[in-house]
């Protein structure tokens, strides 16, 4: 799975909202209908959502949840406008979206550590950012890509202007790199595992291997500030069910994989099963619970972007995320 476009303005004082929302224990309206928009085609990053839906966790919370496949619109923009209640995004997308004024908030980290990076077939010998000079990158046309490549390469003595960038949209990594694309941005937990199954050797320029600041949260679940302010009980009910779904995927990866396969029989079942095992130890990693986010992770990444000249606009980390809607909030972002 290649990293997909995610961007999206404005802000309400979230600290006040969070403080109020944690005191509200009203149940959600029975059979309340909400939607969550995926960032990419269904894969094991989304397993907990399908478990929550198909094992009845959402129903137990009084919710009827539609899991929507991505279309032409950016997740963050659609969530910000309220066209969908929730979405799957990533910290890098939320960071840039907030600087553009989009009122989106990350309410849970799906994976604790950044398992993404720039991948290429091993014969291309791209083992460090400077090696990307003179090569062709296949992306989706987001400013996030340009900023990340520029920042990463500049710290390794490379020049992003020497990278040819082509928009390939949803093109498959294996097909694209057999043609005119040298490297793409992927999640190892899906595309990397598929490469293993194919017996294909590839190089990964892991983002978090070059700087701790790049070990950020990706993907994340987002909603908007108006929903947090005006309907906190629904947000809380949704996240209770989602947390149960990912806890199940952590503890029972084989059964969780079968749930995703049953929901989407067209997926490569062997890939789903192996990926589910790989991610089961990474969804929460060493965090005290699934979904937790730390302010320092958000601040560190934003500062890295500033230092690299990739972001100039103001960014307030404490307004970009909250732990308040997790079942037992324990860290930053809670009252």
Q: What is the pLDDT along the chain (335 residues), one digit of tens a residue?
A: 665 433 332 222 222 223 333 333 444 456 899 999 999 999 999 999 999 999 999 999 999 999 999 886 789 999 999 999 999 999 999 999 999 999 999 999 999 999 999 999 999 999 999 999 999 999 988 778 988 898 899 889 999 999 999 999 878 999 999 999 999 999 999 999 999 999 999 999 999 988 899 999 999 999 999 999 999 999 999 999 999 999 999 999 999 999 999 999 999 999 999 999 999 999 999 899 999 999 999 999 999 888 888 889 999 999 999 999 999 754 445 43
CA 41 vs. chain centroid, Å, equals 13
Omega of the bond leading into 219 within 30 degrees of 0 (cis): yes
pLDDT at residue 307, as a whole number: 87
Q: Are 70 and 39 in contact (CB under 8 A)?
A: yes
Strand partners, 33: 64
Residue with tokens 């990340």: 148
DSSP 321: B
Topology match between the domains 14-112+216-319 and 116-214: yes
The pTM (predicted TM-score) of the whole model is 0.87
How far apart, in whole angstroms, are the C-alpha atoms of residue 297 and residue 139?
25
How far apart, in whole angstroms, are the C-alpha atoms of residue 32 and residue 171?
36
pLDDT at residue 309, as a whole number: 83
CATH dotted code for 116-214: 3.40.190.10
How far apart, in whole angstroms, are the C-alpha atoms of residue 146 and residue 140?
11
pLDDT at residue 123, as a whole number: 97
All structural domains of the chain with their residue ranges: 14-112+216-319, 116-214
CATH fold label, 14-112+216-319: D-Maltodextrin-Binding Protein; domain 2 (3.40.190)
How far apart, in whole angstroms, are the C-alpha atoms of residue 75 and residue 222?
9
47 phi-psi bin (left φ>0, alpha ψ -120 to 50, beta other): alpha
């Amino acid at each position: 799975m290649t990293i997909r476009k995610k961007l999206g303005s404005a802000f309400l004082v979230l600290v006040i909202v969070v403080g109020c929302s944690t005191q509200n224990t009203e149940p959600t309206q029975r059979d309340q209908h909400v939607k969550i928009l995926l960032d990419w085609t269904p894969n094991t990053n989304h397993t907990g959502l399908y478990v929550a839906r198909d094992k009845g966790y959402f129903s137990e919370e009084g919710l009827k949840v539609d899991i929507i496949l991505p279309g032409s619109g950016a997740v963050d923009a659609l969530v910000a406008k309220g066209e969908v209640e929730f979405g799957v995004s990533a910290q890098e997308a939320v960071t840039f979206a907030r600087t553009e004024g989009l009122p989106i908030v990350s309410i849970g980290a799906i994976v604790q550590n950044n398992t993404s990076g720039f991948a290429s077939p091993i014969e291309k010998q791209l083992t460090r950012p400077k090696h990307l000079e003179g090569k062709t990158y296949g992306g989706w046309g987001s400013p996030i890509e340009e900023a990340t490549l520029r920042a990463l390469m500049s710290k390794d003595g490379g020049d992003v202007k020497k990278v040819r960038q082509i928009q390939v949209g949803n093109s498959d990594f294996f097909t694209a790199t057999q043609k005119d694309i040298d490297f793409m941005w992927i999640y190892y937990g899906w595309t990397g595992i598929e490469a293993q199954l194919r017996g294909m050797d590839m190089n990964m320029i892991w983002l978090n291997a070059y700087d701790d600041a790049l070990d950020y949260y990706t993907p994340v679940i987002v909603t908007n500030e108006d929903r947090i302010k005006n309907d906190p009980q629904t947000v809380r009910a949704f996240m209770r069910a989602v947390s149960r779904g990912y806890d199940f995927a952590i503890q029972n990866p084989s059964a969780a994989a079968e749930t995703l396969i049953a929901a989407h029989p067209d997926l490569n079942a062997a890939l789903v099963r192996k990926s589910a095992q790989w991610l089961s130890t990474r969804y929460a990693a060493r965090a005290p619970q699934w979904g937790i986010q730390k302010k320092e992770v958000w601040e560190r990444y934003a500062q890295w972007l500033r230092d690299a000249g990739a972001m100039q606009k103001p960014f307030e980390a404490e307004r970009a995320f909250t732990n308040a809607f997790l079942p037992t909030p324990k860290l930053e972002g809670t009252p």
